[in-house]
Amino acid sequence: MMARQFLILLVTVVAVSFAQQQPVRDSAVVVKKDTTVIFNPGEAIKISVYPDSALFLNGFYHIDNEYNVNLPILGLVSLRNRSREDFINLLKKEYSDYLRFPNINVTPYMRVSFFGGFYRPGLYWIEPRSTLWDAVQMAGGVAREDGLKKLRWERNGTIVSDNVIAPFQSGISLTNMGFKSGDQLCVTVKPKVVFWDVFRQDIMPVLTFTLSTAMTALTAYQTYRLIKDDD
């Protein structure tokens, strides 16, 4: 009996030891190639070279309707059906004589317009992976305290959504929301109206006019009675 227990224990120890010696694949070190086409006409890319931030290649480049970007020295380069990784490899190859550090990052940007009651309305380039919160913050926030409730998302003059509170709070990206380059965010520029403002601007003038008319009529009636009594 003792021999059998000893044999089971010995087999268990050997099995555990063998398992510990086997290499465990770390999924964190598995690098997947970026083969997704992320470049679209009308958008832009930002090229950043680290840590050489003063290199002439750094900057924004607009993508024209033919998927071309106009790069220094190279001229027009097509991004049609080209992945981000392929484009970075092309930059490293073509600019190898100028790169002291081959650390290049390429980030896509979309155009978003901010109209109306923002502190800094205007036209902005913004990363598609940014959130609606990031976008509104870029424009300085809304001027009205209830501005988010008045916020409209429009495309080509058509309202896509007039209720963006849920995606604003959830923090999902503009891409996941369905944003496209050229979309607009609009909010009314009219200040929020409180009861006293309505009373002062709308009700008070009417009330004053009514009272004034009534007093005039009463005075005229009293004058008429006095004249009639004298007769």
Examine residue 203 and state whether it is found in any structural domain, yes or no: yes
pLDDT reported for residue 217: 75
pLDDT reported for residue 205: 76
pLDDT reported for residue 189: 85
Examine residue 32 and state whether it is found in any structural domain, yes or no: no
Q: How many domains does the chain contain in total?
A: 3
Out of 109, 128, 152, pick the residue that ends a domain. Answer: 109
Q: Which of 30-67 are b and which e, b meaning 16 or more Cβ less than 10 Å from the residue's Cβ? A: eeeeeeeebbeeebbbebebeebeebebeeebebeeeb
Q: Which residues pair with 48 in a beta bridge?
A: 105
Whether residue 127 is found in the same domain as residue 78: no
pLDDT reported for residue 11: 46
| SS3 state of residue 113 | strand
pLDDT reported for residue 209: 72
Whether residue 157 is found in the same domain as residue 210: no
Examine residue 92 and state whether it is found in any structural domain, yes or no: yes
pLDDT reported for residue 199: 53
pLDDT reported for residue 222: 72
Examine residue 14 and state whether it is found in any structural domain, yes or no: no
| SS3 state of residue 110 | strand
Amino acid, single-letter form, for residue 160: V
Whether residue 183 is found in the same domain as residue 114: yes
d(CA 173, CA 129): 5
Examine residue 29 and state whether it is found in any structural domain, yes or no: no
- pLDDT per residue as tens, the chain (231 positions): 545 554 454 545 444 454 444 443 333 333 344 445 579 999 999 999 999 989 999 999 999 999 999 999 999 999 999 999 999 999 999 999 999 988 999 999 999 999 999 999 999 999 999 999 999 999 999 999 898 999 999 999 999 999 999 999 999 999 999 999 999 999 988 765 555 555 566 676 777 777 777 778 777 777 767 776 666
**How many helices and strands, by DSSP H and E, does the chain display?**
8, 9
CATH of residue 52: 3.30.1950.10
pLDDT reported for residue 37: 56
**What are the DSSP E strand ranges found in 117-217?**
122-126, 152-155, 158-161, 183-187
pLDDT reported for residue 223: 74
Whether residue 120 is found in the same domain as residue 154: yes
pLDDT reported for residue 27: 36
pLDDT reported for residue 169: 93
Whether residue 167 is found in the same domain as residue 213: no
| Short-list 188, 193, 194, CA closest to 142 | 188
Whether residue 79 is found in the same domain as residue 101: yes
**Where in the sequence is the domain holding 201, given as residue range(s)?**
191-220
